[in-house]
């Protein structure tokens, strides 16, 4: 089991973390998604609230749209004006934002006053991540490599 760690990779590790970062890891992408999660949908506001340059933001929004994370919704025809909304896929980025906010809140406190986050129950953000299958909380070192998978489905084990 977990032979994959010891085996020499012939190139960079192709995994779902790397694939996710391909889309969400570009600068400003997660902050733009944060804004939409908070109900901010218009270009100028997203640009202001994130601090992204307008040209770069345009590019990011196009990428996120092409990857199905957000969609452009036209709200004016003349002139053409659009709002940006999360798709289902985009809404499901929330756990990433939640984990990031919680980690940052726990470890990145400095003098700067910052907006914190809460669960809708009113409590400070204290997310617990557990396994949907066995119900156990993810503990130290409980993230492990699994088999290779692609759109076609799981691959059979390799012969090493």
Partner DNA sequence: ACAAGTAGGTTGGAAAATCCAACTTACTCC
Partner DNA sequence: GGAGTAAGTTGGATTTTCCAACCTACTTGT
Q: How far apart are CA 11 and CA 121, in angstroms?
A: 46
Nearer to a copy of itself, 78 or 110 (CB): 110
Nearer to a copy of itself, 72 or 97 (CB): 97
- Residue 151 in contact with a copy of itself, rule: CB under 8 A: yes
Selected from 55, 78, 79, 115, the binder of a copy of itself by CB under 8 A is 115
Selected from 38, 53, 73, 81, the binder of a copy of itself by CB under 8 A is 38
- Shortest gap between Cβ of 133 and DNA (angstroms)? 36
Instruction: Return residues touching DNA (CB under 7 A).
Output: 26-28, 42-45, 52-56, 58-59, 61, 72, 75-76, 78-79, 81-83
- Residue 85 in contact with a copy of itself, rule: CB under 8 A: no
Q: Give which of a copy of itself, DNA, none residue 61 binds (C-beta under 5 to 8 Å, depending on kind).
A: DNA
What residues from 92 to 111 belong to the interface with a copy of itself (CB under 8 A)? 92-111
Nearest Cα to 24, choosing from 92, 85, 119, 72?
A: 92
Q: Give which of a copy of itself, DNA, none residue 42 binds (C-beta under 5 to 8 Å, depending on kind).
A: DNA
- Shortest gap between Cβ of 16 and DNA (angstroms)? 19
Supply 54's token pair: 């307008």
Q: How far apart are CA 67 and CA 55, in angstroms?
A: 19
- 3-state DSSP call for residue 124? strand
Q: How many CB atoms lie within 10 A of CB 148?
A: 13
Q: How many residues bind a copy of itself (CB under 8 A)?
A: 94
> Measuring CA to CA, how many Å separate 6 from each of 10, 145, 160?
12, 11, 12
DSSP secondary structure string, 57-93? HHHHHHHHHHTTSEEEEEEETTTTEEEEEE-HHHHTT
């Amino acid at each position: 089991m977990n032979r994959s760690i010891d085996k020499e990779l012939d190139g960079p590790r192709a995994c779902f973390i790397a694939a996710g970062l391909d889309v969400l890891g570009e600068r400003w992408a997660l902050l733009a998604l944060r804004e939409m999660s908070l109900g901010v949908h218009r270009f100028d506001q997203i640009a202001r609230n994130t601090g992204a340059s307008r040209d770069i933001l345009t590019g990011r929004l196009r990428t996120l749209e092409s990857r199905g994370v957000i969609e452009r919704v036209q709200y004016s025809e003349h002139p053409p004006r659009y709002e940006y909304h999360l798709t289902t896929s985009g809404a499901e980025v929330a756990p990433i934002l939640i984990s990031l906010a919680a980690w940052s809140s726990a470890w990145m406190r400095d003098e700067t006053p910052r907006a914190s986050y809460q669960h809708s129950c009113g409590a400070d953000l204290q997310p617990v991540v557990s396994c949907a299958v066995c119900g156990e909380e993810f503990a130290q070192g409980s993230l492990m490599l699994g088999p290779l998978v692609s759109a076609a489905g799981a691959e059979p084990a390799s012969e090493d």
